[in-house]
Amino acid sequence: MDKRPIGVFDSGLGGLTVVDELIRILPGEDIIYFGDTGRVPYGTRSRETIERYARQDEGFLLSKNVKLIIAACGTVSSVAPHTGDMLPVPFVEVVKPAAKEAAGVTKTGKIGVIGTTATILSGAYTRELLAINPSLEIFSKDCPLFVPLVEAGWVDRDDEVTRLTVRRYLAAIKQENVDTLILGCTHYPLIADIIGDELEGKVHLVSSGKAAAQAAAEVIVHKGITADRQQEGQYEFYVSDRPEGFSALANLFLKKDIDACVTRIDVSGL
């Protein structure tokens, strides 16, 4: 039994898809979330900057005595997963779990991957998928405007701007007739309905965030560090910019009122 919290970090709001899944499958666990809203998005930054941000985010979570850290950021998971190698607690990123799920569900062997520019340029998903099955065909596309749209709250299924942006980005992938699409950024599940509509409901969508949460749950159980409590866990949320905008969207996607427990912090000195 280990009552220490699980730590989750992301560049902004998207990692809440991981938190939502953790709450569903591990309801008794305490969770500490850090969203680096003051420096979002990570996907347009240099490799060196992404690595520095990741180490600062991890350092903050370690200061909160977490028992496991999840990099709920597709960019960090693709570009700087090595930052988790020397941590004193287990580390879970989103690329490997999502690739494993996608390789397991595809029927045609044609898999699409969408993510931030840094994620796609890293080739991390392609390498991981081909390591699982060299016969897979991978089609990748960066979608840099998706994160700002989600962070702005433009996630309604009927939002015309977001629908048109999705259509433009997915045109090439749609032509390849993929049967599986990895949402390689944890922001993207928040517009999954729009993405699914554009693909006419014919493509299996793999949420990298949900896959990572499930992988983390397996690690916690395997290592025997579950909280083993019956009541609902406690949740703390930290951001690096104004908490008000974060709270409004987080309340919507977690279906919980978290206004009272969002704290602004500065991790730049860590």
Q: State the catalytic residues.
A: 73, 185
HSE of 136 in the Cβ direction (CA atoms, 13 Å)?
28
Specify the 3-state DSSP secondary structure of 237: strand
Work out the end-to-end distance of the chain between its first and last CA atoms, rounded to an integer number of angstroms.
Answer: 30
Q: 10 Å Cβ neighbour count for 264?
A: 14
Query: What does the alpha-carbon distance between residue 243 and residue 212 come to, in Å, rounded to a whole number?
Result: 25
d(CA 251, CA 261): 11
The C-alpha atoms of residue 182 and residue 185 are separated, in whole angstroms, by 9
Cβ–Cβ under 8 Å, residues 229 and 28? yes
Strand extents, DSSP E, the chain: 6-10, 31-35, 68-71, 91-92, 110-115, 137-142, 180-183, 204-207, 235-239, 262-264
